[in-house]
Amino acid sequence: MPRTLLVGSPNSGKSLLFNRLTGLSQKVANFPGITVDVGSGSLQAMPEMQLVDFPGTYSLQAISAEEQVAVDQFEQALTDDDVQQVLCVVDATRLEKSLYFTLQVIRDCQRNGKPVTVLANMIDVLDKHDLEFDVDGLAAALHAPVLPISGRTGRGVEAIVPQLRANATAPDVRDALADSPDAILRGTAHQLAQRFSPRGDVLVRTQTRLDSFFLHSVTGGIAFFIIMYLLFQSIFTWSAPMMDAVEAALGWLASVIVPMIGNDMAQDFTADALFSGIGAFLVFVPQIFVLTFIIGLLEDSGYMARAALICHKPLRVFGLTGKSFIPMLSGVACAIPAIYAARAIDSPRKRLLTYMAIPLMPCSARLPVYTLLIAAFIPSGTALGGLVGWQGLAMFSVYFFGMLCGLIITGI
């Protein structure tokens, strides 16, 4: 089966585009390191073509063992006869982070006779801020077709398959960059970024202001603790109506079903074992849902990457890195995917230490126990004019000191 390679820089929306084109469900989040393995699937609109999703990297000059594996796999794939072409995804809002890698990909593809199509993703963000993007000019400078798309909204995605078919039937392979060394490409990428990066800079200014607040050593740290506190306070405040609804629904269901059972033993089993036993677990499902939902919001907002930078210095004391924060916080929901996500950490030693720390994080399986104990022993009052709830503060303390103990053990 002919194959098309999908490559791009980390956090460029590549996996989201892969999901939209293939109908599969690669994990998507707004921080680097999500794709750590090569994934593949057939295109929905072109079933005879297989799309291969490679892990994101900032350049073909690997700086870690994991990046080296991805680069080696990509370079090897370019020599395969069944690989017809390459799709290279760039973040249209941050061309300076994508163009060097894109030029390297175009150069290596030209050397191997493979056509390249550049996909300028997140074009919807530029439109939202009335920023112009010179698609034709960038295509001429890159010596490759450029398609403006939005993997999130689907805009422009319909033009990808016709371009793939055109490349498959009449490939347009140029050699303008085939002999360019990396040093020349780096300078070219800088010049192109200066020339074609969207201007108006409303988006850049907004992001700069947010970063200056959330990454500041003082305000960033305060914001981090406030956000983490709100995360655990919401477990009580947001989930309470849903928990009451689940409990009421189970009570109503039991009142309807139990009387319909004629046998007394069967009634006792249904009421005391099924509804009481299973219901005791189902009542806490809303809390687990709220916890994982808010963690997902933090991922999609891009705050997780900022929080990782804020936590870098404190985590270094325990032999870890800021990259360890994301899988460790994910371990609060479930340790298994968190351990899988930790594979993106560059250093083998720090990756191993992160593996050791994650099981020590208080996970959602323990959440019902914590909730019962806190509800039993901690009053539901508030302080500071209702801004701080005692139960939420207790839950935050349980998780915080649980994480701290895990870090101390890892540091030892």
Confidence of residue 260 (pLDDT cuts 50, 70, 90): confident
Alpha-helix residue ranges (DSSP H) falling in 259-346: 264-268, 279-282, 285-301, 303-310, 312-316, 325-330, 335-341
More confident residue, 234 or 112: 112
Domain boundary among 140, 171, 200: 200
- Range of 41's domain? 3-200
Nearest to 30 by CA among 147, 151, 209, 191: 151
pTM of the full structure: 0.61
> Is residue 57 in some structural domain?
yes
Q: Would 236 be classed as within a structural domain?
A: yes
150 lies in the same domain as 248? no
Looking at the structure, do residues 30 and 172 belong to the same domain, yes or no? Answer: yes
Using DSSP's 3-state secondary structure scheme, residue 111 falls into: helix
What's the DSSP call for residue 201?
Answer: -
Helix 99-111 to helix 182-196 angle (10° resolution) is 130
Domain of residue 81, CATH code: 3.40.50.300
pLDDT above 60 (res 32): no
Mean pLDDT is highest, among 61-65, 243-247, 345-349, for 243-247
* Residue 397 CB neighbours (<10 A): 14
Which amino acid does the sequence have at 226? I
**Mean pLDDT, residues 269-286:** 74
Contact between 126 and 92 under an 8 Å Cβ cutoff? The reply is yes
Q: Does any domain span residue 206?
A: no
195 and 321 belong to one structural domain: no
Do 13 and 160 lie in one domain? The reply is yes
**How high is the mean pLDDT of the chain?**
81
Name the domain count of the chain: 2
In a shared domain, residues 176 and 266? no
**What integer pLDDT is reported at residue 35 of this predicted model?**
46
- Tell whether 173 and 240 lie within a shared domain: no
Q: Angle CA(367)–CA(286)–CA(276) in degrees, nearest 5? A: 80
| Domain-located, residue 64 | yes
Same domain, 226 and 263: yes
pLDDT at 317: 84
**Per-residue pLDDT at 29:** 42
Structural domain includes residue 210: no
Last residue of a domain, one of 166, 200, 234: 200
Average pLDDT over residues 339-361: 80
Distance CA 360, CA 383 (A): 31
Give the Cα separation of 315 and 337 in Å (integer): 21
When mean pLDDT is compared over 198-202, 332-336, 404-408, the highest value belongs to: 404-408
- Domain for residue 209, yes or no? no
Mean per-residue pLDDT for 48-53?
90
Does one domain contain both 181 and 231?
no
In terms of domains, do 224 and 165 share one?
A: no
Q: How many CB atoms lie within 10 A of CB 273?
A: 10
Note whether 193 and 284 are same-domain residues. no
Is residue 119 domain-resident? yes
Exposed, middle or buried: residue 89 (CB in 10 Å: 0-12, 13-18, 19+)? buried
Helix, strand, coil fractions of the chain, as percent rounded to 5:
60, 10, 30
What pLDDT shows up at residue 118?
A: 94
Continuous H helices in 239-283: 239-257, 264-268, 279-282
**Which of the four pLDDT bands, split at 50, 70 and 90, describes residue 30?**
very low
The domain boundary, picked from 167, 200, 233, lies at 200
Confidence check: pLDDT of 19 > 80: yes
pLDDT bin (cut points 50, 70, 90) of residue 393 is confident
What is the model's pLDDT at position 34? 47
Return the number of other C-beta atoms located less than 10 Å from residue 69's C-beta: 15
DSSP, res 44:
T
Q: What is the pLDDT of residues 137-189, one digit of tens each?
A: 999 988 889 999 988 888 889 999 999 998 888 776 777 777 788 888 888 88
Domain identity same for 196 and 223: no
Residue at 366 is within a domain: yes
Residues 243, 194 within the same domain = no
More confident residue, 360 or 76: 76
Q: Which tokens hold the place of 155?
A: 């805009």
- C-alpha 345 chain-centroid distance: 14
